[in-house]
Amino acid sequence: MLFFDCTTAPNPRRVRMIIAEKRLEIETRELSIANGEQLSPDFLAINPRGTLPVLVTEAGQALSETVAIASYLEDLHPEPSLMGQGAEEKAAVLNWNAVIEQQGGQAIFDAFRNSHPAMKGRAIPGPADYAQIPDLAERSRQRVNAFFELLEARLQQSPFIATNRFTLADISCFVMVEFARVIKMRIPQGNPATLAWYEHICERPSASV
Amino acid sequence: MLFFDCTTAPNPRRVRMIIAEKRLEIETRELSIANGEQLSPDFLAINPRGTLPVLVTEAGQALSETVAIASYLEDLHPEPSLMGQGAEEKAAVLNWNAVIEQQGGQAIFDAFRNSHPAMKGRAIPGPADYAQIPDLAERSRQRVNAFFELLEARLQQSPFIATNRFTLADISCFVMVEFARVIKMRIPQGNPATLAWYEHICERPSASV
């Protein structure tokens, strides 16, 4: 197994947290997105979409999506479970992880990639260049505000995102919320359930990877 | 179990295909997105994000994400498998399903919702109104072209999207490709592997639901 990481990017951080929670040792290679190393011919031969993270499985399959990497590592190392157990809980984790990715992650990434000077001409990850759209950055910031309200409503009802224990959905949400710093957005001070959840996740050793 | 469907929308169609492939009978309620029924107070009490499909599970959980609904139905009715068997194949299905959703579905939806007159002020699904961004529609069309090339490269190597048999990833891809008609984009005539795959899926009974 081989993990292609990038310590400055949010999605690889989700995988590092999974690995830390499961206490695994996986051979890791660091690539620099800042230097464009994810677009080198060698890496594009592994992942033609030029995105990180990638986990190359024992059978040699290159997984580029966090949810797939999480599923694979869960099957090989079921404990501690991050993907849920039983039909209802497994569905809850996949459901909330997708909601977090779409309502939170996508909005934060779009706001960042369509406004940050370092992302000029690089509004979409991957080998092709796409121009920034300032209006999309602004609309996405409105969506991040809506996401924080969605999160507060959920965490008023549940101690963790998907179920009554820590799962992949918490990892995804924690990493997205921390990454929102790049667009200067944070959990609103008026959202006590989210702030309490955030402090709680910060205490886990995996939060510092 | 209760399935909230909308026969005019692509994501509910993915769930209908899953149900058809597994030959299940699930109580179904049709909502009209054209009439805004997904934003009624009654439905928002079930899914506050106001999106379709929704599957209410036996425990009363409202699942709004196709991948979660697929996981739940697979656990209850494992055959025929649509989510893969074994760590490698399960990861392949989740990985390709996510790639199809992001590189294909997201681009097609963004192109549609940011350009179609019926979507004016409704560029993002859900209870909040967001203005259309014409530049995003145009950029997304470029991405759909890139998606068709990604698909052709994959299907030159593999008879189905994720693995050597029909899975959720094929359902997602087939529904997205058919939905691209709303933005007047189709599989390019120069992409023989994709056209052959498409004809093959069209022959399945589930393709007509």
Confidence of residue A126 (pLDDT cuts 50, 70, 90): very high
Kindly report, residue by residue over A12-47, the tens digit of the pLDDT: 999 999 999 999 999 999 999 999 999 999 999 999
- The pLDDT score that the predictor gives to residue A167 is 98
Kindly report, residue by residue over A78-122, the tens digit of the pLDDT: 999 999 999 999 999 999 999 999 999 999 999 999 999 999 999
Query: Rounded to whole angstroms, how far apart are CA atoms A82 and B93?
Result: 18
Where does A24-143 show beta strands of DSSP type E?
A: 28-30, 54-56, 62-63
- The pLDDT score that the predictor gives to residue A136 is 98
B165 CA to chain A: closest CA distance, Å?
16
* Burial (0-12, 13-18, 19+ Cβ within 10 Å), A195: middle
Name the residue among B49, B98, B135 with its Cβ closest to that of A135.
Answer: B135
Token pair belonging to A172: 């995804």
Query: Rounded to whole angstroms, how far apart are CA atoms A126 and B143?
Result: 11
Strands across the sheet containing A2-5: A28-30, A2-5, A54-56, A62-63
- The pLDDT score that the predictor gives to residue A155 is 98
Kindly report, residue by residue over A151-197, the tens digit of the pLDDT: 999 999 999 999 999 999 999 999 999 999 999 999 999 999 999 99
Q: Which residue of A has its CA nearest to B67?
A: A94
Q: What angle do CA B43, A101, B75 make, to 5 degrees?
A: 70
What does DSSP assign to residue B7? Answer: T
- Kindly state the average pLDDT of the residues B75-104: 98
- The pLDDT score that the predictor gives to residue B147 is 98
Strands across the sheet containing B54-56: B28-30, B2-5, B54-56, B62-63
Where does chain B show beta strands of DSSP type E?
A: 2-5, 28-30, 54-56, 62-63
Residue B54 phi/psi, 5-degree rounding, is -135, 135
B131 CA to chain A: closest CA distance, Å?
8
Confidence of residue B138 (pLDDT cuts 50, 70, 90): very high
In angstroms, what CA-CA distances link A51 with A12, A32, A47, B103, B109? 10, 11, 7, 12, 22
Per the prediction, chain B carries an average pLDDT of 97
Name the residue among B61, B88, B136 with its Cβ closest to that of A92.
Answer: B61
- The pLDDT score that the predictor gives to residue A64 is 98
Name the residue among A68, A91, A133 with its Cβ closest to that of B95.
Answer: A68
A196 CA to chain B: closest CA distance, Å?
23
Domains and CATH numbers, chain A: 2-76 (3.40.30.10), 86-208 (1.20.1050.10)
- The pLDDT score that the predictor gives to residue B48 is 96
Q: What is the ipTM of this complex?
A: 0.98
Of B73, B115, B67, B14, whose CA–CA distance to A101 is shortest?
B67
Confidence of residue A8 (pLDDT cuts 50, 70, 90): very high
What does DSSP assign to residue A83? Answer: S
